[in-house]
Structures are given as C-alpha cells and as structure tokens.
Amino acid sequence: MSFKNQIISSLNTIITTILIIISNIVAVFFVECICTDFIIGPSYNALIIVIAFYIANSLLWPVFRHFLMKFIIVTLGIGGLLINSLIFYITTYFIPGVSVGFYGFLEAPLVIAIVTTFIMNITNTNYHDSYIKNILKNALKQKTPYKKQYPGVIMLEIDGLSINTLKKAIDKGVMPTLKSWIDINSHDLKEWETDLSSQTGASQAGILHGNNKDIIAYRWVEKEDDNRIVVSGKLSHAPEIEKRISNGEGLLVNGISISNMFSGDSKLFTLTSSKLKSMKRIYNKTLHTIFLDPYNFQRIFVLFLWDILVELKSQITHKIKNIQPRLRRTIVYAAVRSGANVILREASTDVLSSEILIGEIDTAYTTFMGYDEVAHHSGVEDNDVWGVLKQIDNQFQRLLTTIEMADRDYKIVVLSDHGQSKGATFKQRYGITLGNYVRRLLPDDLKMYRAEYGIDHFRDAMIPENKKLKNIKKHVESIRDDLFDEEGSLQNILEEIQNRKPEIIFENEQYLNLRKKYSNSLEYIAGYESVEHSTKKAEKSELIVLGSGNMGLIYLTQWRQRLNYEEIVMLFPDLIPGLVNHPGIGFVLVDSISNGGMVIGQNGIYYLENDKIVGENPLENFGPNAPRHLKRQNSFKNMPDIMVNSFYDSENDEVCAFEELIGSHGGLGGNQTKPFILYPSDWKDPGDLIGAESIYKFLKKEIENLNS
C-alpha cells in the first residue's frame, strides 16, 4: 500500500471511530428516553458509559468466553448477548449517578450494537477486515510448526442457484467477485446436470460421497419400515442416510464440512446435519471463532433482525404490486429466512476463515443456503434474490482476503447443487393439492394420510419431528383391518398380491375386462374415463402423497411392496388415466411386470428398458438425458408406486410444484437440473458432467493431483 493510501486508510479509520463514539453516546441518550429504568445522571456520563463499556468488554469478555463458551453456543448465541448485557450492568454499576434496571441493561447494549452496525454500513467499513485479525491471533495458537507445501481446495456451494440465474446476477453486477475471476481467466464456468431428483439430499450425497443411490427425493416413504417417512435433511434421519451412502472415501476425508447436509467423511465438521443428530449437539469448538470479541455476534444478530425487516418489506411490496405468483409468507418464515441467509452465512465464513489460517485442512465444503430459501418463497429471479447473492459474493471476497493472509495456498471452487424452476404451484393453478386430487381418483373407502411440507432443508432440520409422523406406525395398523369389507373383491386377492403372484393379476376378471376393451396401454390411457370420487374420508389413510418440488410421490401403503402397473390398473383403474390427463401433470413413472419402467404421458408412453416410444414422446421437453435419469431412478429401493412429474412449459420456462413453493426443484423441467461449477482454469476440462457423482470424481481427482 502506498504512503498516500495509508494516510487515507488511517483517516477513514479515525473518522469512523469518532462517528461510532458519537452514535453510541446518542444511543445511550435514546435508551434513557425509551426505558423507564435506565438513568444516566449528568450528561457527561454518556461518554463515560461508552468508553467504560468498551474497556470492560476488552477485559471481561475473554474471561466469560473462556468459562461459558459452551453455554453461549448451545443457546445459539443468545447467551453471548446476555453476558454482554451483564458486562454493561457491571460497567454502569460503578459510575456515579447511573441507575440501570432489568430492561435497561438488556436494551442498551443491543441499541449500541444497532447504531454501531449502522455507522459501519454507511461508512462502508468492512468489519471482517478488522475481525480477521482476531481470527488470525486465535489461529496462530492452534497452528502446528509443520507447513503443508501443497495447496488445499475450498469448495463453496450456493444452494439452489442455476447457471442461467448466476449469469444474470453477474450481468447485473451483484456478484463482482465471481465476475472478476471469470474476466481474468483464473476460473472456468461450466454447467453440469443433476440426477433425478434435483435436490440437495441427492446432490450433496453424490458430490460429497460419490453415491446417491436410493435417495429418491427430499423425502420418501419406506413401506417395509411401517411406512416411515424419511427426510434427507432432518437431524434424526441424515446420519442414517450417510451410513447408507458412505464408504469412507468422501471428498472431505482430510477436510472440514460446514453447514452441509452430509459430512463427506470429514472428521472435522460444523453445523452439518448428518453429524448433529439433534440441536442439543450443536456445540463444536470451531464455533468459538464467532465469539472472539463481544461485538461480532451482536453484529450478526443485528443483521439477522435487519433481514427480518427486509423480508417484511418485501411481503408488503409483493402485495401492493400484486406480484404473481405469490405465497403467503409469515413472520415465522421471516425468522427462518434470516437464520439461513444471515446467521449461517456469517458463521460459516468465520469458521472457514479460521481453518484457512490454521492451514491444516486439505479440503473444505461450505453451503450458503440463503438464495435457495429466498427463491423458494419470493421467486427464482425476484428482486429479493439479488441482494442475497450480493451478500454471498461478499463472503467469497472475504475468504479470498483470508487466503491471501494465510501461509498456505488454497484453490477456490464455487458450485451449486441444483437450480430452481419457477411457476405457480399446482394448488394455485387448479385449486386443489395433488394429494386431494389423487384421493378423488380412488374408492371412497380408501383412507388418506396427507402432510403439508416445505422443501427447504434448513427448516426441516431445525424444527422438531412431527409427533403425528412419529406415530404413523400405530395409525396405519389401527385402520388396516377395516379398509375393505369382508366380501370385497379386493380383499379376496389381497394375500396373493402381497405375495406378488403375477398370474393372479392377469387372471383377474376386472383386469381381463380392461384388456378386452383396450388392446394396449396407450389406448387404455387415452380412452378410459376416470371417475372422481369424494374426499369425505380424507382425514384417515392408506394413501400417502408427498411432494418434492414438482415431483410427486404416491404410495399405496396397504401393500408393503411397490405396486406395478398391472396391479394398479386392476386395483384402481381410474388412477393412472386420471393423473396423466390432468393438465398440471407432464408424465408419471410406474414399473411394469412385463415391460419394466414405463413413462406415461397423455398421448404417449416411453418404455425405458428398450427405449421404445408409443405415440408421442412424453419426455420430449425434459432434456436428452431424461430417460437415463428415470431408468436409474426406477431401480431405486423405496420408489413410490407412482412417481409424478409436473408439466414443463418450455415457452414460459415454468413448472408447477406440488408443494407451496413458487421456486422449486426436485423433479425434471427447466433450470432446476442446470447447476454450475466454477473451477480453477489450470485444471483439466472434465468434459460433460452428468449427475452429482461426476462432480465428486472430478473434484476428487484434482484434489489428489494437488496432494501428489
């Protein structure tokens, strides 16, 4: 830095410090005005309070932090705010004329933090530049004398960002850091294609472990386990899923996993779903980095509150402008959004900065999930998302600065796990949920279990398990005996179907009658007139319908095995024709005894086993690799009896989700299957990248090359 720039930088620091002191004095007077139990006495006490509070924090915070860090972290930082308030009370106790009550000692430190953050923002002061010095001091205490000579790899995931939306963000100037890397040719940008399903559970399993087999969707039913509903990101389910997919050779064997769904076999992890198991186990020594000084978490908390206000403003704006499609967004969602968009973002950057400066990790993988959360609810390219992406880009610049300070080199990779596709939901378009529509196509005596879900894994992970889901085993057993009348024709063949005897299916009179009337499957689909039944008994069920973006999963849970096409036609002849003839549905996937996987659309059938198409190709608009993805998916364990994919309108680039999310992912159609990877340009071009496992192989190979 030149002498002139040093002078300018010093002047900026002095001016900012003076402004912060003045604003803190004003804050003290303000608290006295609004708080009845806070009295500062003589006016000059305001300055004394500000200076004394700063000194007391410098002296007392390290002591409290040392003994109470676990309490601070387990209380999600709230304990830190309380300790800071206690320090404020201790400070004012010894100043003559000052009187502080309960509300005063809680409010004053928070108001001081708010005005300090405000001044830093308007003066464009990057607090991370000063805080990184604290992180560096702490990191030096943990460094070993041995220095690794080969570079490490830092992988930064932007959850849910498609390559097309990324390009628009770069063109808008909201991601200058990524743009600069592309402009100077330090990094190459490449599109890759997700598996089916296009969601975090499948993608991170494939990227971090090289294996996402049997991960059907974000959530699915396991019939053989008493119809248990498994959710990828839930703290109680993610560890079990990781055991199924891990072989011990994940991407992060010698690295750290931060804010991810799975660990990549890392022994060092922070805020990783598969390792938490419950929020009671959130404590982790790496999180100490966030609380090295008392202001850092206060600043994060202030930004959290500010983001809630930003969300509430957005809700009002969307209503006034009547932006469509639009979801009902509550104050609870605003808090969830801020948790994902602010707290996890800032915490992840601090923890990763510390590990970079320590220099012992070979790899790191961190998820920034703010965009995915906001895009689900505001829209894929709504004005709300650009500010979120700008803040994420700021984190990348901070991490780049950290790497420049480190004594070990690190390569940076930025990627996404999937994209998002836009469009009004199924319920918004047709006035009925997929679950209720399916119910109408089934007999009146079939009872339905239905649960409403959102797809964001942050909320699923943090909210405790639904007791109703936990007790589904008891619920299912209680209604199994009275599902059919004793003399019903279905009951007479139930045992044979459960034993999967195909001759029973083909000899059944109902099935034979259908075969006589319709000579082939396409004729049956096109010609059968479905009858919609009432939903008068929809509160109890032997039917479970789940949504994963624009993928729907229909489980007929009386049968422990997956029903095949022939069984479904015989048992519920209205169901498949009723589904594929609905304008909101693009195709369904079922398995056939005689034909294997069948992708059925309104005007055609794609036979996956031999790539034969009868009628029109139902997969025409879903990409050239759609048959490949569906064939692989059809082989997975715990597949639904019927998998449903919504339509894809290529002209308007829209799908319709079976959940109440206007930005969605999970199935096929549009940008949801088009994520990106931005990697160092001196790496070898990996060619076509199809499926998350291809990303694992590419990154694993480059990491091993650097290590060698």
378-391 confidence digits (pLDDT tens) = 999 999 999 999 99
Residue 560 has pLDDT above 90, yes or no: no
Q: Starting from the edge strand earliest in sequence, which strands make up the sheet with 363-368, in order?
A: 187-191, 676-680, 410-415, 152-158, 363-368, 255-258, 268-270
Can you say whether residue 611 is alpha, beta or left, with left for phi > 0 and alpha for psi between -120 and 50 degrees?
left
Cα separations in angstroms, 548 against 207, 219, 544? 20, 7, 13
Are 427 and 328 in contact, with CB atoms under 8 Å apart? Answer: no
Residue 502 has pLDDT above 90, yes or no: no
When pLDDT is cut at 50, 70 and 90, the band that residue 467 belongs to is very low
When pLDDT is cut at 50, 70 and 90, the band that residue 506 belongs to is low
652-708 confidence digits (pLDDT tens) = 999 999 999 999 999 999 999 999 999 999 999 999 999 999 999 999 999 999 987
In sequence order, which residues have a C-beta less than 8 Å from that of residue 102 and are 6 or more positions away? 37
Predicted pLDDT at 281 = 75
Residue 169 has pLDDT above 90, yes or no: yes
Predicted pLDDT at 324 = 94
Predicted pLDDT at 492 = 45
Predicted pLDDT at 99 = 93
Residue 483 has pLDDT above 50, yes or no: no
When pLDDT is cut at 50, 70 and 90, the band that residue 515 belongs to is low
Secondary structure of residue 417 in the 3-state scheme: coil
Are 554 and 640 in contact, with CB atoms under 8 Å apart? Answer: yes
Q: Which residue from 231, 304, 300, 230 is spatially nearest to 80, judged by alpha carbons? A: 300
In sequence order, which residues have a C-beta less than 8 Å from that of residue 77 and are 6 or more positions away? 290, 291, 297, 300, 301, 343
Q: Starting from the edge strand earliest in sequence, which strands make up the sheet with 596-600, in order?
A: 448-450, 543-548, 551-556, 642-646, 585-592, 596-600, 604-607, 612-615
Residue 541 has pLDDT above 60, yes or no: no
Average pLDDT over residues 499-524: 69
Greatest C-alpha distance within the chain: 99
In sequence order, which residues have a C-beta less than 8 Å from that of residue 60 and are 6 or more positions away? 87, 90
Average pLDDT over residues 296-323: 95
Residue 88 has pLDDT above 70, yes or no: yes
- Total residues belonging to the chain: 708
The tokens of 344 are what?
């996890």
Average pLDDT over residues 264-279: 89
Only one residue has tokens 């959102």, namely: 454
Are 241 and 212 in contact, with CB atoms under 8 Å apart? Answer: no
Residue 50 has pLDDT above 90, yes or no: yes
Residue 479 has pLDDT above 70, yes or no: no
In sequence order, which residues have a C-beta less than 8 Å from that of residue 691 and are 6 or more positions away? 193, 194, 195, 206
Average pLDDT over residues 312-339: 94
Cα separations in angstroms, 446 against 481, 485, 490? 12, 11, 12
Predicted pLDDT at 122 = 85
The beta strand positions in 466-542, using DSSP E, are none
Name the DSSP letter for residue 649: B
Which ranges of 406-508 does DSSP label H, i.e. alpha helix? Answer: 426-430, 434-440, 457-462, 467-470, 472-480, 489-498, 502-507
Are 433 and 427 in contact, with CB atoms under 8 Å apart? Answer: yes
Residue 476 has pLDDT above 50, yes or no: no
CA distance 443 to 683: 59
When pLDDT is cut at 50, 70 and 90, the band that residue 486 belongs to is very low
When pLDDT is cut at 50, 70 and 90, the band that residue 363 belongs to is very high
CA angle 441, 443, 448 (to 5 degrees): 80
Average pLDDT over residues 415-431: 97
Residue 100 has pLDDT above 70, yes or no: yes
Residue 468 has pLDDT above 70, yes or no: no
Cα separations in angstroms, 302 against 109, 112, 295, 297, 342? 11, 10, 10, 8, 10
Which ranges of 94-237 does DSSP label H, i.e. alpha helix? Answer: 102-122, 127-142, 163-172, 176-183, 200-209
When pLDDT is cut at 50, 70 and 90, the band that residue 477 belongs to is very low
The tokens of 613 are what?
């198409």
272-282 confidence digits (pLDDT tens) = 999 987 666 78
Average pLDDT over residues 613-618: 95
The tokens of 195 are what?
């598996």
> In the structure, how many helices (H) and strands (E) does the chain have?
28, 21
Secondary structure of residue 534 in the 3-state scheme: coil
Please, how many CA atoms are within 13 Å of residue 34, restricted to the half-sphere of its CB? 11
When pLDDT is cut at 50, 70 and 90, the band that residue 227 belongs to is confident
CA distance 451 to 706: 48
Determine the distance from the C-alpha atom of residue 174 to the mean position of all C-alpha atoms in its chain, rounded to a whole number.
22
CA distance 202 to 636: 12
